[in-house]
Amino acid sequence: MFLRKMKSWASGLFLGGALLLAGMPAQAADNWPNKQITFVIALGPGGSADRTARLVAQRMQDELGVPIRAINQQGGGGHVGHTYFMNMPKDGSFFLFTSIHPYISSAILNKNANYKLDDFAFINGQWTDTDLFALNAKLPFQTLDEFMDAVKKEPGKYRVSVVPGSTGHINTILLLEAYGLPADAVNIVTYESGGAARTAAAGGQVDMTVLAADGSISIKEFIRPLAVASDERLEDWDAPTLNEVLTARGLDAVTPLVGSMRGLAAHAEFKQKHPERFEKVAQAYQKVLSDEGFKAQLKEQRIGSDWLGPDKTTEIIESNYQILERFKDQI
């Protein structure tokens, strides 16, 4: 009799505890994350995306309470890294922190990717840069017009460094079109990171580079700025806007693409199955970017600290995807 009462009491206790847990909010019962998180960087080391990802990882791991490692999976203008990320577990242990625009869209349009935009849940576009058209400083050309006249006289002679599928790549084609030149009027040399493409321009392996303006501060003494792909001039560069140059020459203005957007994305499946966990990551990221000390650290390294949030980031990427479709056969 005593044993039966004990069993009945224990069963009741277990059932009551189970009912209590069932009635608790999911967030309270969920201790996620409880293991290491990985940031996959789809571009090479040393570039703007790589530097941004590693700095953010250091801060976000304190907010989330687990270590965050950052690994590079470069190749194919980001396509190798995107594919690697999509093949990783979709449980929130892997995130993509890289130039989420335009490389994902470019790979979908040009690399026969087996993923689409809807497979990614974009969290935030932290830093969208402006492209800079710049020459190796040892070249004699002082203006963009002078350089483009030389290109027209000797097509195929001059080399331009870009990251494949980047806005710099597309803005190079836009520049050639504006001057009435075909895409092969220059030798477009591709590198798997902005750092490598900048090094090539600074060292004279290429003649011109079209890359992020902020990220190019580090090679400022080795290059000559010719124009910026924006509506307004930039404080750090003594150069006109591209459309200032074109209209002064009597050419039609163009709409250059905004530069690379560095930021964080998750698997769409992760967001769908675990919306509270997705929100936890977003809140941690937003909190990190609201820290004044960290923002100052990023500013010192010419890295932006914008918080756009998932909805605005997704809106921008989807809108620009339509523009990129025009160039799908040229990059």
Are 224 and 320 contained in the same domain?
A: no
| Confidence at residue 11, expressed as pLDDT on a 0 to 100 scale | 47
Is 255 inside a domain boundary? Answer: no
Are 50 and 119 contained in the same domain?
A: yes
| Confidence at residue 19, expressed as pLDDT on a 0 to 100 scale | 43
Q: What is the CATH number of the domain that holds 208?
A: 3.40.190.10
Are 277 and 309 contained in the same domain?
A: yes
Question: What are the pLDDT digits (tens) for 155-181?
Answer: 999 999 999 878 899 899 999 999 999
Are the C-beta atoms of residues 95 and 40 closer than 8 Å to each other? yes
Is 21 inside a domain boundary? Answer: no
Are 164 and 222 contained in the same domain?
A: yes
| Confidence at residue 10, expressed as pLDDT on a 0 to 100 scale | 45
Decide which of 214, 248, 282 is a domain's last residue: 248
Which region, left, alpha or beta, applies to residue 322 given φ > 0 means left and ψ of -120 to 50 means alpha? alpha
Is 166 inside a domain boundary? Answer: yes
Is 267 inside a domain boundary? Answer: yes
Provide the residue range defining the domain that includes 97.
28-129+260-327
Are 125 and 135 contained in the same domain?
A: no
Decide which of 221, 248, 275 is a domain's last residue: 248
Are 148 and 115 contained in the same domain?
A: no
Is 23 inside a domain boundary? Answer: no
Are 119 and 201 contained in the same domain?
A: no
Average pLDDT along the chain: 90
| Confidence at residue 259, expressed as pLDDT on a 0 to 100 scale | 80
The helix/strand/coil state of 304 is coil
Nearest to 321 by CA among 183, 151, 116: 116
CA atoms lying within 13 Å on the CB side of residue 286: 11
Are the C-beta atoms of residues 264 and 95 closer than 8 Å to each other? yes
Quote the tokens at residue 104: 């994902």
Quote the tokens at residue 24: 């608790």
Is 5 inside a domain boundary? Answer: no
Are 243 and 315 contained in the same domain?
A: no
| Confidence at residue 331, expressed as pLDDT on a 0 to 100 scale | 64
Is 58 inside a domain boundary? Answer: yes
Residue 108 has pLDDT above 70, yes or no: yes
Question: What is the three-state SS of 154-170?
Answer: CCCCCEEEECCCCHHHH
Decide which of 205, 225, 248 is a domain's last residue: 248
Question: What are the pLDDT digits (tens) for 178-218?
Answer: 999 999 999 999 998 888 999 999 999 999 999 989 889 98
Are the C-beta atoms of residues 326 and 320 closer than 8 Å to each other? no
Are 102 and 117 contained in the same domain?
A: yes
Q: What is the CATH number of the domain that holds 39?
A: 3.40.190.150
Q: Taking CA 208 as the corner, what is the angle to CA 75 and CA 127, rounded to the nearest 5 degrees?
A: 55
Question: How many domains are contained in the chain?
Answer: 2
